[in-house]
Structure 1
Amino acid sequence: MTKIAIFASGSGTNAENIAKYFEGNSNIEISLIVSNKKDAFVHERAKTLGIESVTFSKNEFENTNEVVNYLRDKHIDFIVLAGFLLKVPDNILKAYPNKIVNIHPALLPKHGGKGMYGDNVHKAVVQAGDTESGITIHYINENYDEGGVIFQAKCQVGKDDTYEDVAKKVHILEYTHFPIIIESILKDKNG
């Protein structure tokens, strides 16, 4: 059984979608939701789904081993970032080498880096006049949005599309592909 922790900072729609996808799976379990915000709606989703959720402060993430120790105590094997807005610190990267994946709401390397998340990304896509956007699922490393790309999916951006239109198209790609790609990564890792 592979135990996954999902890290999320906000509403948790991707976390919920992933958790529902793996419900009843005998090989993969969403065991824990980790957030850096006590009031993030992802905690309410976790309650509804019957998944433990916990909050750690920015300081606990960045300056202590509390998060790593907690993950180890819970026998977490793999981490999925789903709208997690803090940079993952080195101690977690070292504890989980090539075992942390993120989804970015654009086609990296375009529109990545610090501050490029959510609507900021979709606005940048529209402002740049891009004709396509999409999602990038990638491993993470010590730099924002620079880890090895695992998968990309594209959607068209019309010349009259607003950033909200782009967001809707990208969300569909996220919900469709992220759980399936997580499952395929874990199948590959587990032989």
Structure 2
Amino acid sequence: MKNIAIFASGSGTNAENFVKYFSGNKSVKVAVVLSNNRKAGVHERVNRLGVPSFAFSRDEFVEGAPILRKLTEYHVDYIILAGFMNKIAYPLLEAYPNRIINIHPALLPKFGGKGMYGMHVHEAVVAAGEKETGITIHYVNPHYDEGEVIFQSVCPVLPTDTAEDVAQKVHVLEYLHYPQVVEELLSK
């Protein structure tokens, strides 16, 4: 059994999707959810589904040791970022090399880097007149959105699409592919 920790900062829809996807799975389990936001909706979503969640301070995150203790307590094999809005601290990168996975709402290397998240990405895609966008699932390294690409999926961007339209299309791809790709990776 592989245990995963989900790191999330917001409402937790992707985290909830992971918990539901792996519910009853014999080889992968969402063991714990960690957040940098005590008031994030993710806590209520996953607690309702029987998954414990914990919040941590900025200092605890930078130091790393308190988070690593929590990950050890839950026997975490992989960390999955699902709407987590902080750059991963070095102690976590060192403890989990090639075992931290993120999803980006565009086709990297386009529209990646610091400040490129959520609606900022979709607005940039529309402003650039892109004909397609999508998702990129990748390993996390010390640089924003530069880790090795694991998987990409594409959707069209129509001339009439707004950033909100693009966000909806990308969100469908996230729900469809992210848990499945993680499951395939962890079963290797």
* TM surpasses 0.5: yes
Tell me by how many angstroms 1:64 deviates: 4.2
> Does residue 12 of structure 2 align to residue 12 of structure 1?
yes
> Does residue 24 of structure 2 align to residue 24 of structure 1?
yes
The 5 Å alignment of 1:25-44 reads: 25-44=25-44
Secondary structure, counterpart of 1:159 in structure 2: coil
AA at the equivalent of 1:142? P
> RMSD of the TM alignment (CA)?
0.7
Q: Which runs of 4+ in 1 moved over 6 A?
A: none
Distance 1:109 1:167 in 2: 18
Distance 1:18 1:155 in 2: 22
The total of aligned residue pairs comes to 188
AA at the equivalent of 1:159? P
Kept in 1: contact 2:64–2:92 (CA 8 A): no
Distance 1:105 1:129 in 2: 16
Distance 1:175 1:75 in 2: 25
AA at the equivalent of 2:7? F
Tell me by how many angstroms 1:63 deviates: 2.6
Distance 1:52 1:4 in 2: 12
TM-score calculated relative to the size of structure 2: 0.98
Secondary structure, counterpart of 1:26 in structure 2: coil
Tell me by how many angstroms 1:72 deviates: 1.1
In structure 2, the partner of 1:162 is 162
The 5 Å alignment of 1:113-152 reads: 113-152=113-152
In structure 2, the partner of 1:74 is 74
In structure 1, the partner of 2:179 is 179
Kept in 1: contact 2:122–2:166 (CA 8 A): yes
Secondary structure, counterpart of 2:184 in structure 1: helix
Tell me by how many angstroms 1:73 deviates: 1.8
Secondary structure, counterpart of 1:51 in structure 2: coil
In structure 1, the partner of 2:105 is 105
Tell me by how many angstroms 1:74 deviates: 1.6
Secondary structure, counterpart of 1:154 in structure 2: strand
Percent identity, please: 56
AA at the equivalent of 1:163? A
Distance 2:138 2:64 in 1: 26
